[in-house]
Amino acid sequence: MTHSDTPTLEMGPIGQMMKDGCWDLHQAAESGIVAKKLISGELSKGDYATLVSQMYLFNRRLDEAVRAHRGSQPSLEALIDDEQLQTPYYEADLSDLGVDAGSLEAMPGTAEAIALVERVERENPANLLALHYVREGANNGNRFVARKLMQVWGQNDLKGMKHLDPYGEGQRPKWDAFKTTLNELPFSDDEKRSLVATGREMFKAVIAIHGDVERRSA
């Protein structure tokens, strides 16, 4: 995994390094058209279903990789329990949205995101943690997205949105516990740099998936 576009960072707790090292791409991801419409509740239900479908394919592959390597990678074992695996939440949402999960095909950005997972598996499976860190952290903001969509769509439940708020009121305690355990793990400086670089790749993958949804909508 290349570090060529990773900002120069001071060594410190890996959680803070991940946040600081990915901040520019985090902002870029949130400033895209699809993300803005999602956050404001203006994304159409059709575009939402497309986004959920593509993110399902990506997250399913990431879950498969985590399961395959969790037993041999101490950091994955320490941090990722089954509740954090996203596939069941996405499958429930697709069912609620009337989408046949078995009929889905990956769009170009999704195919590239899946290829990223497979590359990380080959080169350094411990870095699957960085991919998971980004999606797990996204749950903090996604809770508010779900509430906005519920309001705009006149819903009083999470039907079709479970992946946005999988833990309910347990979100903040779970994230705090995740970060505490993460920062206690004995990563070397090189491992920290590699995790940040991989986290940046994750943000780029999500941006690409959003771009596909935007182009299909247009």
Question: Tell me, what CATH number does 35's domain have?
Answer: 1.20.910.10
Name 194's Cβ contacts closer than 8 Å, sequence gap at least 6: 1, 3, 124, 127, 130
Give the other-Cβ count within 10 Å of 40's Cβ. 12
Over residues 188-203, the pLDDT tens digits come to 999 999 999 999 999 9
209 phi and psi, to 5 degrees?
-65, -45
| Residue 118 confidence (pLDDT) | 98
Q: Report yes or no on 187 lying in a domain.
A: yes
Residue 178 lies in a domain: yes
CB atoms inside a 10 Å sphere around CB 124? 16
Euclidean distance between the first and the last CA atom of the chain, given in angstroms as a whole number:
34
Q: How many domains does the chain have?
A: 1
Torsion sign over Cα 153, 113, 66, 68: positive
Strands, DSSP E only, in 116-159? Answer: none
Taking 70 as the pLDDT cut, the residues of the chain under it are 1-4
* DSSP state, residue 4: T
User: Minimal CA–CA distance to 62: which of 89, 92, 99, 24?
Assistant: 89
158 within some domain: yes
Torsion sign across C-alpha atoms 87, 93, 96, 101 = negative
Global pTM reads 0.94
- Indicate whether 9 belongs to any domain: no
Q: Is 113 inside a domain boundary?
A: yes
The encoded tokens of residue 211 equal: 């771009």
Distance CA 21, CA 9 (A): 7
CA-based torsion, 121, 126, 131, 136: positive or negative: positive
Q: How many CA atoms lie within 13 A of 105 on its CB side?
A: 2
pLDDT (0 to 100) of residue 195: 98
Report yes or no on 7 lying in a domain.
Answer: no
User: Do the domain assignments include residue 150?
Assistant: yes
Would you put residue 166 in left (φ > 0), alpha (ψ -120 to 50) or beta?
alpha
Q: For residue 152, what are the CA distances in angstroms to 20, 35, 142, 146, 168?
A: 33, 16, 15, 10, 19
Interval 94-105: pLDDT, tens: 999 999 999 999
Query: Which residue range is the domain that position 39 belongs to?
Result: 14-217
Q: Is residue 124 part of a domain?
A: yes
Helical pair 14-21 and 189-217, crossing angle rounded to 10 deg: 40
Task: In whole angstroms, give the CA distance from residue 67 to residue 85.
Answer: 9
pLDDT attached to residue 156 = 94
